[in-house]
Chain A
Amino acid sequence: MVVGERKPFDEITRMLQGFKKVMVLGCGGCVTVCLTGGHDEVRVLSSQLRMSRDKDGTPLEIIEHTVERQCDPEYIEQVSELVPQVDAVLSMACGAGVQYMAERYQGTPVYPALNTTFVGGSTKEGYYVEKCQTCGECKLYYTGGICPIARCSKSLLNGPCGGSTKGKCEINKEVDCGWQLIIDRLTSLNQMDRYETIMESNDWRPSRDGGPRKMVREDFQR
């Protein structure tokens, strides 16, 4: 899933300065799962904003709403009657959702309440870790199901570097060395013969370096 983190409250209040009525719009997708941008978080942020603005003597009227997913034209259409009633929309979706809203509602400012951080998952409740950097060409076959692009701090394809110490990365003793994990896993799978094959310089075109990416299911285009 896409993991997001709420922006600092001060940054959010600065974005909403001068507005009298806004909509705080949650998303029922990934950010609900990672407890940062769903229905509950919309309620919490909205009441924080109201209290803060009341204290400043510039009350803020808020419409609280959450849609199934903000990265889908069908679902964001559902707020078409609410958007004209507000001065701005504060989206609690990931960066994709914010942009869907901004493109659909041209006349209304749409601002992000979250920092979209990474693609990953949870290891326990409220604890999320990065697993994928969406490079566009999956290498997990070669590396025992552990991604060197996302899990090595230098994204080395022929690691580990000389900074790997006792299974940890040189940047931080809390961070696992991705290549130590790969080697442990290849060893347990009896696939260490793969280690000595040089992984060639990566083709970054399927990654962000090819411009905004798209994926088209031709059978659905009619």
Chain B
Amino acid sequence: MSAECKTDSRLEKILRSGQFAVTGECGPPRGADAEAVRKKCRLLKGNADAFNITDNQTSVVRMSSIASAIVMMQEGMEPVMQMTCRDRNRIALQSDILGGAALGIKNMLCLSGDHQKFGDHPQAKNVFDLDSIQLIKIVRIMRDEGKFNGGDEIKGAPKLFIGAAENPFADPFVIRVPRLAKKATAGVEFIQTQCIFNMKKFAEWMKGVVDRGLHENVFILGGVTPFKSFGMARYMANNVPGMDVPEELLKRMKDTPKEQQADEGIKIAVETIQQLREIPGVAGVHIMAIEWEEKVGEIAQKAGLLPRPEV
């Protein structure tokens, strides 16, 4: 992997220096209260190298990812601005990329986006002018060649470290490594995976990634989500598309007394991180503690990931 950084991203510096990276996640509030973002930020600060700001996740309207990212930067933290193709066409996406970069955002995550059917505006018209792979390619060309998708020259290219997501557990499994290869060809530099519960399947996918040498071009960060309760584990197993929660993990949560389930969930997350560190090609972890931001520090601490390095 090239050690030369293309941006001023702290996340990029940590990854390119060969250190095991940690990213977290912060969902913006359903309102215009910046203090709500700050409050979450204070729970997360120092516990990871950079933090994703979700972009209207599950198609529910929230404060924009750019605005929330700016608030996060005011708190002295580094955001990863998520951008989905669901709500904006290529004109709006490129415009927001310029705007985000101008305001100092240094990382971006390119996503197709959840279908609007899941959100609070199922009657909305979706856009999907681009898909995530096309978006990756467009940002990469904007940054490295200084050109818009339409071909015109950009005056002041956006210096963003380019990421995307991949779900090793979605079907068909056979194309999950080839699809990552497409993202690599498009120019992605880091990948955060879907929450890993089925470690066996993840290891199988990672082997495919390493066999093709994709880990030499793309940093892979394994997704980790702690269960708050057995109810949440069951919900994720049954109701979240593309989620693979093995039976034994469900049983482990179910067999734990209710008042100890949260601790058990944390324990599982820590074990997951420890296992991920042993898998060749894994460059870091992405901890998604959904509406449980206060636990990211505890998980990172118990997994031996704190303090985070200074770069």
Contacts and interface: CB of A to CB of B under 8 A. Distances in A.
Interface string A145-183: 000000001111111111111110011100001001001
A200 interface: yes
Interface stretch (B43-51, B175-183, B288-296): B175-183
A100 interface: no
Interface string A170-211: 111000010010011000000000011011111010000000
Contacts of A202: 129
B166 interface: yes
B263 to A, nearest CB: 29
Given A158-B134, A196-B181, A198-B137, A166 B171 contact: yes
B185 to A, nearest CB: 6
Q: Give the interface size bracket for A toward B.
A: 20 to 34
A161 B134 CA distance: 13
A165 B115 contact: no
Task: Among B129, B131, B166, B181, find the residue whose CB has the most chain A CB atoms closer than 10 A.
Answer: B131
Interface string B175-215: 10011011001100000001000000000000000000000
A205 to B, nearest CB: 12
15 contacts: A154-B86, A154-B115, A161-B242, A163-B114, A165-B241, A170-B115, A180-B171, A195-B178, A196-B178, A198-B134, A198-B185, A200-B134, A201-B90, A201-B149, A204-B129
B112 interface: yes
A198 B186 contact: yes
B285 interface: no
B19 to A, nearest CB: 27
B172 interface: yes
Contact of A198 (B117, B172, B182, B242): B182
B178 A170 contact: no
B172 A159 contact: no
- Do most interface residues of chain A lie in helix, strand or loop, or is the interface mixed? loop
A141 B54 CA distance: 36
Interface in B43-88: 85-86
B269 to A, nearest CB: 20
B165 interface: yes
For the complex of A and B, the 4 pairs showing the least CB-CB separation, nearest first, are A162-B167, A170-B241, A163-B241, A158-B133
Interface string A60-97: 00000000000000000000000000000000000000
Interface string B123-134: 000101111111
A170 B85 CA distance: 17
B3 interface: no
A183 B115 contact: no
A133 to B, nearest CB: 12
A180 to B, nearest CB: 6
B92 interface: no
A161 B170 contact: yes
B175 A155 contact: no
B174 interface: yes
Nearest to A204: B129
A164 B176 CA distance: 11
Contacts of B85: 154
A204 B181 CA distance: 26
B138 interface: yes
Given A154-B112, A177-B171, A159 B131 contact: yes
B172 A196 contact: no
Contacts of A153: 115, 117
Contact of B172 (A162, A163, A170, A183): A183
A198 B90 CA distance: 17
A1 to B, nearest CB: 25
B112 to A, nearest CB: 5
Contacts of A166: 171
A161 B112 contact: yes
A170 B242 CA distance: 8
Given A154-B128, A183-B175, 6 more contacts: A160-B171, A167-B171, A171-B117, A183-B172, A196-B185, A198-B182
A157 B134 contact: yes
Given A154-B131, A156-B131, A165 B174 contact: no
Contacts of B138: 201
Interface in A29-78: none
Interface string B240-257: 011000000000000000
Nearest to B122: A171
B112 A198 contact: no
